[in-house]
Structure 1
Amino acid sequence: MLKLDTTDRGILRYLQQNALLTTKELALQLNLSYTPVYERVRKLEREGIIKKYVALVNREGIGKNLVAFCNVSLKEHSRANGEKFVSAVMTFEEVMECYNISGEYDFMLKVVVNDMPEYQRFLMEKLGALDSIGNTHSIFVMSEIKHETALKV
């Protein structure tokens, strides 16, 4: 793991707020010259600290009005069965996040779709078609209270 100093942390804070900042703008914010800031950003990218740059889209603005958390239990707990499930889930565009969890269920999926009929199609035609699944439990989001993308650095 890369040891981050205050300059690295500053770069990460600014880029998490606005990834469109130029190196020149970052340098001004950090009271540094262009070259060391450029080199630091490239190092953070090479080391995988900065994974990628994205545009955050307002899901409701594109009609994605339903968020569901779907808990999944596998039929059997074998490496092959788990890998088969993970491989399939990685292809589902409706699944925004997937976590291997402990407790009553094996996986938790964050699913974002247009509406309830689309979620039902996803559940029946995609998720339900996987023979590795034992059972599922869906939880529907009524309102989003807090959603952050920036990590504290």
Structure 2
Amino acid sequence: MSFTPDSVDISILDILQEDARLTNKEIAARLNKSVTTVFERIKRLEAEGYIERYIAVLNRNKLGKHLVAYTSVTLKEQSHDWLVAFEEKINTFPEVMECYKMNGQFDYLIKVVVTDMDAYEAFNLNKLSKLDNIYKIRSLFVLAEAKKEVALNLRFK
């Protein structure tokens, strides 16, 4: 039987996205539910994969990561083996924050976060462009963040 979160589960998820450090007691108080109910619901949401992990959202600029690049990658060949090989290798690069297989004009879109343009050039020349099967690399550089959201809007259909 498939589990579908109800309105209480959605409220718990909203609260956890806002502040995952809240205790079950604090969440229960906000929802006017028992601590046991909240605890059991959170455990079920975790077990069912609705909650993947708990993290802290860091300020990249304070940590010296000032440059964000969205880089499209087109491969020479798109066979299963080449796609898997690319994904395995790209996952070893700490500069790559996100990687998406795409359809359309290119094969992958990756988000790269580094200290500055020199670091991006080093990443591009010494890592990305040296991968087997690379045909084309194009990069767009973020000038400013107009909106940055990490929480999913669970009330919007």
Q: TM-score, normalised by structure 2?
A: 0.96
Q: Secondary structure at the match of 1:139?
A: strand
Task: Write the mapping of 1:25-40 to structure 2, written as runs, cut at 5 A.
Answer: 25-40=26-41
CA distance in 2, matches of 1:28, 1:19: 15
Aligned partners of 2:105 and 2:7: how far apart in 1?
41
Q: Mind listing any 5+ residue stretches in structure 2 that lack a counterpart?
A: none
How far apart, in 1, do the equivalents of 2:34 and 2:132 lie?
57
Show the counterpart of 1:101. 102
Alignment size in residue pairs: 153
Q: Corresponding residue for 2:90? A: 89
The residue correspondences of 1:125-144 to structure 2 (distance < 5 A) are: 125-144=126-145
> 1:2 deviation in Å?
2.7
2:86 and 2:3 mapped to 1: Cα distance?
A: 33
Q: Which residue of the partner structure matches residue 50 of structure 2?
A: 49
Secondary structure in structure 2 of the residue aligned to 1:48: coil
Q: Would you say the 8 A contact 1:84–1:132 is kept in 2?
A: no
- The corresponding residue for 1:117 is 118
- What is the identity, as a one-letter code, of the residue corresponding to 1:102? N
Q: Matches of 1:147 and 1:92 in 2, distance apart?
A: 23
Partner of 2:22: 21
> In 1, Cα distance between the equivalents of 2:42 and 2:99?
29
- Alpha-carbon shift at residue 97 of structure 1 (Å): 0.5
Structure 1 regions of 5+ residues with no counterpart?
none
Residue 132 of structure 1: how far off its partner (Å):
1.9
Shift in Å at residue 40 of structure 1?
Answer: 0.1
- 1:128 counterpart SS class: helix
Partner of 1:67, secondary structure, is strand
Deviations 1:87-129 (A, max 9, x none): 0011111000101111110000000000000000000111011
Give the Cα separation in 2 of the matches to 1:16 and 1:132. Answer: 39
2:61 paired residue number: 60
Amino acid corresponding to residue 128 of structure 1 in structure 2: S
SS at match of 2:28: helix
Name the SS for the 1:14 alignment partner. Answer: helix
CA-to-aligned-CA distance 1:28-71 (integer Å, 9 cap, x gap) = 01100110100000000011100000000000000000000000
> Which whole-Å CA distance do the structure 1 matches of 2:61 and 2:70 have between them?
17
